[in-house]
A and B are shown apart, each in its own frame.
Chain A
Amino acid sequence: MRIAVCVKQVPVSEQVKMDPVTHSLIRNNIEMGMNAADCNALTEAIRLKKQTGCSIDVFTMGGYEARSVLFTALAMGADEGYLVTDRQFAGGDTLGTAKVLAEALKHTEKYDLILCGCFSSDGATGQVGPMIAQLMEAASVTEVKKIPKVEEACLEVCKTWQGKLVHLELKLPAVITISLGCNTPILPTLRNQMKAKKRTLHEITNDALHMDSDAVGLSGAKSLVTETLWIEKTGKHSHMLTGTAEEIADQILDLVEEAKH
């Protein structure tokens, strides 16, 4: 079975600034890392690899600096890393990103299973995974929490819904998105990081994909950001409780009792 995992490099830090003109994040001086849900997705893929001996290719769309998440992926246990990069791809919306990734995946291999994180911490739309599935004309299940069974041509997956655990059988080829925090992500060891850094990454540019520039990147975006507004003070401010520590403790206990019902 051939598995592909799509990952994204995002800011890790809690302090971020946005450029009010380009509406994009100011990325200098922010620690970048692999999007958390993608870590969960890759960890799940590696678990499947241990079970079935399949191979894992990791794809990311981004600039040169995105290579570091591919090295991290290799250090975690992936087999090959693909950097999908071209100026024309930059600035795209979710559909633009999905189109590029889908094309890169199709260009590389016939994958049985494609895993994505359920959403990214710096966009949080959760759209790219299902969009890739649509573009590849494959079935999809989003927000998967567990993959209890793996067979040649199908999987059994679980997701939560309305407090219940739903079991679905999914025929391959398929795309699934993995729920944030559904497993403990593999931490790459120092040794594996050193080994990974010596590996060669594959690069896929638009020379290979021949995508129409009107369909991708900034020019292909169908939903436009027209303004950026800083929130100095959001409308919401907590209702402040006052009194002695004892009085406050009483108020808290009352509120909690009420909330339970």
Chain B
Amino acid sequence: MKKKKIGIIGGGISGAALGYHLSLYEDAEIVLFEKDRIGCGTTAKSAGTVCLFDDSLNNRYWDVRLYGFETYRKMEAEEKGSAGFDQTGTLVVATSEEVEKTIKTGIALAKAAGYSGEYITDKDKIREILPGINTDPILGAGYTKDDGYFDGTMISNTFVKKMKANGGTVYTGIEVTELIKEKGAVTGLKVSDGTSYEFDIVVDCTGPWSRFTGEMVGIDVPIWHTKAEAFFLAPPVKRENYVFPVIKYPAFYGLRAGENVFICKSHLSMDLDDPMHAGQWNPDLLPQTGGTDEYFIEFLFDQMDTYIPELADSGLSSSWLSYRAETRDFLPIIGETPLKNYLLATGYGGNGVIEAPAVSRDLAKYIMRGESTMLLEEWAFQRLLKK
């Protein structure tokens, strides 16, 4: 049997998920290259929320969200902890009628899929779920107990473990330094230790590094970096038997991190033309901790003071900055590029953990069988080239 050789650049959630899904085809021979450690770059700084009713990914793509959620639930059922699931429940807060409408839609979709969900207007009840909340400026909140957050790093490691068990190869601490072209098509790549590899297909899964990866081969990958600034807060009050839920407000979201609370500004409110929010930077220069902007802390304080005053009185334990790879329409770039045999699975824009399973399932099928799907067509590179 002649195998199809696929080289994957990048071992974050994108590369790991794709590697696993490809490894399910016995005629696939996969090699994944990660220059640092699996799931320890952008993926490590993600919140890992795959909320059932949430608008970070348009409800048009509800099936993608549901598929991601269920993939990870099944991962957990197979081996506890392999997806790092913390079932804290989720509270999505309605600050306007428009938001309320979206939440109620989400609840309907979640219930149709067999999960629980209710829209609560009783403010006492909401305060029970989130004791530090200020219920004055809100209309109500959607709540489900079936939800929580996952761990992108754990998931990436699990996908890679399964991929290896299916015969895939992984190299960590190895950087791809050159892409090899012949007669207008990519035929392989070279890595930092000088070794060359031949591939039928190469897929760029490097997220915020995609511009640099694309440059190696003359492809202009149209991603911007938006700043994901996250803060760890130490709440002033410790409550016994209380679980801090995943919380979603239009401008920020939060979840528990051990005894602390992780808060991050949501990415849909980012303006790609605002240099404070977005730009094109170098992810290698990101500091491991800190790097956050003053105005973010001010923004955070304003939001907390308004919505969850108890968190405004929380100690600021630490913070970090990460870059999300964002396209103009906030949807990822998946599949073929103008360069033959060079594919993209990037631009997940902070939704990588949610979107990677469905995308990888479809992209793997496309690579191995040439069959496309509606998702691949909508998220194709083509759409960005037209504009």
Would A31 and B289 count as touching, CB distance under 8 A?
yes
In the complex, the answer to whether B289 meets A190 with C-beta atoms within 8 Å is: no
Residues in B whose Cβ lies below 8 Å from that of A15: 287-288
Shortest Cβ distance from A43 into chain B, in angstroms? 12
Q: How far is the CA of A127 from the CA of B312 in the complex (A)?
A: 38
Q: List 27 A-B contacts (CB under 8 A).
A: A12-B289, A12-B290, A13-B287, A13-B290, A15-B288, A29-B285, A29-B286, A29-B291, A30-B287, A30-B290, A31-B287, A31-B290, A33-B290, A186-B315, A187-B234, A187-B315, A188-B315, A189-B316, A190-B233, A190-B297, A190-B301, A190-B305, A191-B301, A191-B305, A193-B297, A193-B301, A194-B298
Bound Cα distance A258, B349 (Å)? 53
Dominant secondary structure of chain B at its interface with chain A: mixed
User: Cβ of B291 and Cβ of A190 under 8 Å apart?
Assistant: no
Interface residues on A, range: 10 to 19
Closest to B302 in A: A194
Q: Are B288 and A187 in contact (CB under 8 A)?
A: no
Question: Residue B177 at the A interface, CB < 8 A?
Answer: no
Question: Do residues A190 and B287 form an inter-chain contact, with CB atoms below 8 A?
Answer: no
- A positions within 8 Å CB-CB of B: 12-15, 29-33, 186-191, 193-194
In chain B, positions 285-321 with a C-beta closer than 8 Å to chain A are 285-291, 297-298, 300-301, 304-305, 311-317
Q: Which residues of A contact B291 (CB under 8 A)?
A: 29, 31
How many residues belonging to B are interface residues under a CB distance threshold of 8 Å? 23
Instruction: Name the interface residues of B256-308: CB closer than 8 Å to any CB of A.
Output: 285-291, 297-298, 300-301, 304-305
CA distance A30 to B315 in the complex (A): 22
Smallest CB gap from B260: residue in A: A187
From A30, which residue of chain B is reached at the shortest CB distance?
B287
Do A29 and B316 touch across chains, with their CB atoms under 8 A apart? no
Closest 5 CB pairs of A and B: A31-B290, A187-B315, A190-B301, A191-B312, A189-B313
Question: CA of A186 to CA of B315 in the docked complex: distance in angstroms?
Answer: 8
**Separation in Å of the A15 CB from the closest CB of chain B?**
6
B interface residues, Cβ below 8 angstroms from A:
233-234, 236, 285-291, 297-298, 300-301, 304-305, 311-317
- Report the separation of the CA atoms of residues A33 and B291 in the bound assembly, to the nearest whole angstrom: 11
Contacts of A187 in B (CB 8 A): 234, 314-317
Known: A189-B236, A189-B315. A194 touches B301 (CB 8 A): yes
Q: Which of A29, A32, A188 has the most chain B CB atoms closer than 10 A to its own CB? A: A29
> Could you say which of A13, A32, A190 contacts B312, with CB atoms under 8 Å apart?
A190
Q: Which residues of B contact A186 (CB under 8 A)?
A: 315
User: Given A194-B298, A194-B301: A189 and B288 within 8 A (CB)?
Assistant: no
A235 and B174 alpha carbons, distance in the complex (Å): 25
Residues of chain B contacted by A32 (CB below 8 angstroms)? 290
Contacts of A12 in B (CB 8 A): 289-290
Query: Nearest B residue to A14 by beta-carbon distance?
Result: B288
A194: B residues at CB distance < 8 A: 298, 301
How distant is the Cα of A66 from the Cα of B234 in the complex, in angstroms?
A: 25
A13 and B316 contact, CB distance less than 8 A: no
B317 (CB) vs chain A CBs: closest residue = A187
Docked CA distance A30–B233 (Å): 21
CB distance from A1 to the nearest CB of B (A): 27
State in angstroms the CA–CA spacing of A188 and B298 once bound together: 14
**Contact: B304 with A190, CB < 8 Å?**
yes
A74 smallest CB distance to B (angstroms): 14
Residues in A neighbouring B300, C-beta threshold 8 A: 190
Cα–Cα, bound, A33→B292 (Å): 13
